[in-house]
Amino acid sequence: VPSKRSRGTYARLICLRCRSRKIKCVLQDDDRLLQPSPNPLPHDKACQRCQQNGYECILDYTTLGRPAQKRTKTATAAGGGDDISSLTRDAQTASHVGDLTEIALVDTQSPSAEAFLLSHPIQEGDRSKSQVKDQVQLQPSNEELLEALMGPSRLLASLLAQDGSFGHSLPLPGPCPRGVDLLALVKHDLAVLLEKHLIWHRFYFPYFPSIVELRRQIAYSRPVALQLPATKLLFAALCSTALDVPSDQLDRFRHIQNDLLRVLFELGQEVLFTLPCHQHTVLALSCIAAYQPQSVIATRRAGSGAVIGKIYITPAKRIAKQLGLDEAYNDVYTSIASGETDSTKLQNAANACLEWARLCVIDADIYGGAKQPRRSFREVEPSASDSLDAVRFAIDTQPMSAEIVYAYVRLQAQVNEWESCNAVAANWRRLDALADVIADHGMTCELLLEACKAWSADIRSRGLPEHAYALLQLTEMQLFSCQKDVTGLSMFYAIMSSAHPPGEKEEIGPDDAVRISEHIIDRLKSHDSADPNRPPLRVFLEQFGDTRTEVLQRVITSFITACDFKIDGISHCLPPRVAASEMLFICKEVVEGNAARYKGWGGLDENTDMLLILFHSCARKLEESSAHAVGDSKKAIAEGNILAASAKLIRSLHQIMSGWK
């Protein structure tokens, strides 16, 4: 019999993270030198687990007491079958699934993220019991849930705000003298190499000027006092963006990224507060919003909010209007009517139209939503449509680059989607009208695709097969995604209309909207699919909802395939703000659909295994799209990389659905 021995002294302090996980808290310093505080410890003072996972370490006193009473085994625990509550708890406490590490949505460090799922197989009582005391207050309100439901960027911003690991070590730039020599930092040969790696960026922003040309402008505007801060900001933003492209050719230059980020931070602050009325201001803010929204932010909370883009797009659109970009379509028609042989002027006018149309579409997305889409887009629709009509006329008149053609197709598809969303909102009580909107939008997409095929053939005939192939494939992916959005919104309004009979309130409140999965289950279970007298809503949901998971699966597959496209050896990558938010939004919708299936019918989609594989591949492709995220994803998340953060959240969705399976 072993002899009794002293167990030593009990720990005086424990962090809230380790307490919630019921594990030992290993502090770096003697706890007698520390005091409990509501403020997180510095990173070098945090406990071992918080340091490893990038969490905020908040200390509290330990509470001593007797061990909890052992529970008797239930029928489920004895092998009578797992219920969904136990499966979810197992998923939450698992530390590894394959190569999946602790992730925000599943880890109790971020319970509010899982709460953003609108459908839960677990009953509310079971969920509330599983929450630790210090986490209940993190549950989002119904208003926050509805806002996250209405847009991918809002969802990502909400989740990142709740994730303590995102941006917690956002590097605060050191002193950056006003006269920093960008020309010495980025020499001519490097500028040429960086410009080469922006080849895919120009499919989304064909109007971005050349890095080499910007460097020349800065060189000719010496002394430093004469250099425009907006021009230097645009130059630094484009160089930093190009340097983040995964490529072996750039590896030996990545050491200058920190210097570029310091310049970007200081100049970004200066431009945001002064807003010079210059086209480079518009371009720089657009570039930062799309590729590095956290680059001019110094705090974690502000970094998550910057994902939405309001801080950049709103002033950019206002300056663009002052510069007359909203009337640039007149220059297109004037250039064509004059019969000029030089196509440069026409391309510049077309690019100005694309720039204005894009600002209008993003502005509508920021301030609009499915709650009130018409009021937001009605203000910008005429000028955006006029600009795109002019670009279409230019494309049909003179040969244009694949970059200009795809930028037009992408924006036109988004405008068509907004118009269809407006029609859905206006006819939300009429199922026949909603079905017509879906059909009309599908026909519009088909016509745009046919036109794109003709333009792609013309580009191929000019000796650019890679550009032609990329144009066609990216167009198909964009159009299919737009059709998915319109169909999904129509189904949402159809279900809400059945929950609000005529004569009741016309507005959809957040309390009703977040119960959408319950409405779906109630409507589908109330009548059998073979019942000839089943209500019209049941028929509508069967027509457009039965293949919903397949549609979402196809969008994810298209994204994964698109990441493998290459031109001149450089892999395709979407703008991070778009890729990170939209892929997370789609994966969340897949999980919600399976949660509703499990809750209503006790099973998951038959393609669950394939979906789990796609989730993992999608997360990997997101990380591989950023050189910053490829090396150390945890460090990238801590420094505010939204691609790595989105990949982490998608992996957590993978783990949640794996637990249900």
Average pLDDT rounded to a whole number, residues 578-598: 88
> Which DSSP helix (H) or strand (E) runs through 448?
helix 431-461
Q: Where a domain ends, among 502, 526, 551?
A: 502
- What is the pLDDT at residue 411? 96
Structural domain includes residue 24: yes
Full residue range of the structural domain in which residue 26 is found:
18-61
Between 641 and 29, whose confidence is greater? Answer: 641
- What is the pLDDT at residue 136? 37
How far lies 440's CA from each of 168, 197, 361, 412, 477, in Å?
47, 39, 21, 15, 19
Q: Where a domain ends, among 271, 296, 321?
A: 296
Q: Which neighbouring-strand residues pair with 61?
A: 13
Cis peptide before 67 (omega within 30 of 0): no
Between 149 and 318, whose confidence is greater? Answer: 318
Residue 435 tokens, joined: 């079905």
Instruction: Name the band, by pLDDT with cuts 50, 70 and 90, for residue 646.
Output: very high
Between 131 and 639, whose confidence is greater? Answer: 639
Between 162 and 85, whose confidence is greater? Answer: 162
Contact assessment for residue 418 and residue 450, using Cβ atoms and an 8 Å cutoff: no
Q: Which amino acid is at 394?
A: A
CB atoms within 10 A of CB 135: 17
What CA–CA distance (Å, rounded) separates 129 from 135? Answer: 11
Instruction: Name the band, by pLDDT with cuts 50, 70 and 90, for residue 95.
Output: very low
Average pLDDT rounded to a whole number, residues 563-588: 92
Residue whose C-alpha is closest to residue 362's, from 372, 371, 350, 354: 354
Burial 582-608 (b: 16+ CB within 10 A, else e): bbbbbbbbbbbbbbbbbbbeeebbeeb
What CA–CA distance (Å, rounded) separates 381 from 179? Answer: 43
pLDDT exceeds cutoff 90 at 234: yes
Between 460 and 374, whose confidence is greater? Answer: 460
Cis peptide before 501 (omega within 30 of 0): no
Average pLDDT rounded to a whole number, residues 12-38: 81
pLDDT exceeds cutoff 50 at 93: no
Query: Please, what is the average pLDDT of the chain?
Result: 79
Burial 179-217 (b: 16+ CB within 10 A, else e): ebebeeebeeebbebbbbbbbbbbbbbbbbbebeebbeb
Contact assessment for residue 599 and residue 120, using Cβ atoms and an 8 Å cutoff: yes
What CA–CA distance (Å, rounded) separates 50 from 257? Answer: 27
pLDDT exceeds cutoff 70 at 472: yes
> Which DSSP helix (H) or strand (E) runs through 257?
helix 257-274
Of 29-33, 389-393, 631-635, the range with the lowest mean pLDDT is 29-33
Of 92-101, 309-318, 402-411, the range with the lowest mean pLDDT is 92-101
CB atoms within 10 A of CB 52: 12
What CA–CA distance (Å, rounded) separates 328 from 349? Answer: 6
For residue 554, give the DSSP letter: H
Instruction: Name the band, by pLDDT with cuts 50, 70 and 90, for residue 9.
Output: low
What CA–CA distance (Å, rounded) separates 657 from 57? Answer: 29
Of 211-220, 238-247, 542-551, the range with the lowest mean pLDDT is 542-551
Of these ranges, 37-51, 513-527, 559-573, the one predicted with the greatest mean pLDDT is: 559-573
339: left (phi over 0), alpha (psi -120 to 50) or beta: left
Contact assessment for residue 111 and residue 103, using Cβ atoms and an 8 Å cutoff: no
Instruction: Name the band, by pLDDT with cuts 50, 70 and 90, for residue 547.
Output: confident
What CA–CA distance (Å, rounded) separates 125 from 631? Answer: 42
Average pLDDT rounded to a whole number, residues 238-264: 92
pLDDT exceeds cutoff 50 at 132: no
Contacts of 60 (CB under 8 A, 6+ apart): 13, 14, 15, 16, 19, 36
Average pLDDT rounded to a whole number, residues 11-15: 85
Between 21 and 588, whose confidence is greater? Answer: 588
Q: Which neighbouring-strand residues pair with 397?
A: none
- What is the pLDDT at residue 487? 92
What CA–CA distance (Å, rounded) separates 180 from 184? Answer: 9
- What is the pLDDT at residue 415? 92
> Is residue 570 classed as helix, strand or coil in its secondary structure?
strand
- What is the pLDDT at residue 155? 85
Structural domain includes residue 46: yes
- What is the pLDDT at residue 523? 60
Q: How many domains does the chain have?
A: 3
Distance of CA 635 to the CA centre of its chain: 19
Structural domain includes residue 125: no
- What is the pLDDT at residue 559? 94
Contact assessment for residue 651 and residue 619, using Cβ atoms and an 8 Å cutoff: yes
- What is the pLDDT at residue 21? 81
Average pLDDT rounded to a whole number, residues 268-286: 94
What CA–CA distance (Å, rounded) separates 401 from 455? Answer: 10
Contact assessment for residue 570 and residue 250, using Cβ atoms and an 8 Å cutoff: no
Structural domain includes residue 324: no
- What is the pLDDT at residue 71? 46
Instruction: Name the band, by pLDDT with cuts 50, 70 and 90, for residue 76.
Output: very low
Structural domain includes residue 568: no
Structural domain includes residue 494: yes
Of 46-50, 264-268, 281-285, 508-512, the range with the lowest mean pLDDT is 508-512
**In the chain, % of residues over pLDDT 70:** 74
Average pLDDT rounded to a whole number, residues 410-423: 91
> Which DSSP helix (H) or strand (E) runs through 61?
strand 59-61
Instruction: Name the band, by pLDDT with cuts 50, 70 and 90, for residue 243.
Output: very high
- Number of helices (H) and strands (E), helices first, in the chain? 32, 4
Q: Which amino acid is at 261?
A: L
Structural domain includes residue 104: no
What CA–CA distance (Å, rounded) separates 473 from 465? Answer: 12
Contact assessment for residue 140 and residue 158, using Cβ atoms and an 8 Å cutoff: yes
- What is the pLDDT at residue 73? 41
CA angle 414, 417, 419 (to 5 degrees): 115
Q: Which neighbouring-strand residues pair with 13?
A: 61
Contact assessment for residue 149 and residue 176, using Cβ atoms and an 8 Å cutoff: no
Contact assessment for residue 269 and residue 115, using Cβ atoms and an 8 Å cutoff: no
Q: Where a domain ends, among 296, 318, 352?
A: 296
> Is residue 584 classed as helix, strand or coil in its secondary structure?
helix
Contacts of 150 (CB under 8 A, 6+ apart): 369, 370, 371
What CA–CA distance (Å, rounded) separates 644 from 282? Answer: 27
Structural domain includes residue 162: no
CB atoms within 10 A of CB 172: 9
- What is the pLDDT at residue 380? 52
Residue 286 tokens, joined: 């657009």
**In the chain, % of residues over pLDDT 90:** 42
pLDDT exceeds cutoff 70 at 519: no
Instruction: Name the band, by pLDDT with cuts 50, 70 and 90, for residue 517.
Output: low
CATH code for the domain of 483: 1.10.132
